[in-house]
Amino acid sequence: FVGNSYLYYNDSLHNHFKRMVDEKYPGYEGSQNVKSSTIGGSRLKHHNLDHLLEPKAISSIKKFELVILQGGSGEGLSGKNKRAFAQIAKEHITKITAIGSQAALYMIHAYVEPHENFDPNLIRVIEEMYVAAGNANQALVIPVGLAFENAYRHRPDIKLHKLDGTHPSLLGTYLAACTVFASIFRASPIGLSYDYNGLVSAKDRLFLQEVAESTVRNFYQSS
């Protein structure tokens, strides 16, 4: 996982993802080499991908099967930023595929109130930006932002963001991990017992798993 604080908040998304994988696929050795490289407030252009892709640079393996790229929250706020995102995504994905790895784009969630850049239409901008980059570069798009939107549509009272309106809460991170899991393995997260040592209630756990499953299924059927 390559990104920013959207990934490392709440004990880091990659840790939740690993625990889900270990439960669903006991003995799956890949979970031992799930790594996260994050820079607070970063955009795609801020990451030294050449170093991260070097053999055994940040793990014990020579190369990762999959590299997931998460862009900055402000990259959809202007035409200039969107063009820069598209260009850097292309450059990064080219480097990833050149070494025989696969690339994926982690579609971020949108701001909510009271964030100063809240816009109810921002998720459509984010969706278009990530889908365009994924299609242009034949990369998997992981629809986390759409999962947030769908969860709020069904349960407007659920708290997927922290009070700042931008960073994910624990439930937001849990939903994101379920969405990544469903997208990568094309397997339903429904029924996983993982609840972060009881901090995710049974009700929320099932709801978020169902939202992730339906979001991923509908997204790939329509794209």
Partners of 168 in the β-ladder? 161
Mean pLDDT taken over the chain:
96
Distance CA 178, CA 13 (A): 10
In tens, the pLDDT along 165-203 reads: 999 999 999 999 999 999 999 999 999 999 999 999 999
Which amino acid is located at 196 in the chain?
A: Y
Assigned token pair, 151: 């969860």
pLDDT confidence of residue 223: 61
pLDDT over 80 at 61, yes or no:
yes
Q: Tell me if 89 sits within 8 A of 61, measured CB to CB.
A: no
Q: Tell me if 58 sits within 8 A of 23, measured CB to CB.
A: no
pLDDT confidence of residue 28: 86
SS3 string, 142-202, reads ECHHHHHHHHHHHCCCCCCECCCCCCECHHHHHHHHHHHHHHHHCCCCCCCCCCCCCCCCH
Assigned token pair, 217: 């299924």
Using DSSP bridges, classify how beta strands 37-38 and 66-70 pair: parallel, antiparallel or unpaired.
unpaired
Q: Tell me if 181 sits within 8 A of 189, measured CB to CB.
A: yes
In tens, the pLDDT along 99-152 reads: 999 999 999 999 999 999 999 999 999 999 999 999 999 999 999 999 999 999
pLDDT over 70 at 217, yes or no:
yes
pLDDT average, residue stretch 195-214:
98
Return phi, psi of residue 51, to 5°: -70, -45
pTM score: 0.96
Assigned token pair, 38: 């994050």
Using DSSP bridges, classify how beta strands 140-142 and 102-106 pair: parallel, antiparallel or unpaired.
parallel
Q: Tell me if 168 sits within 8 A of 174, measured CB to CB.
A: no
SS3 106: strand
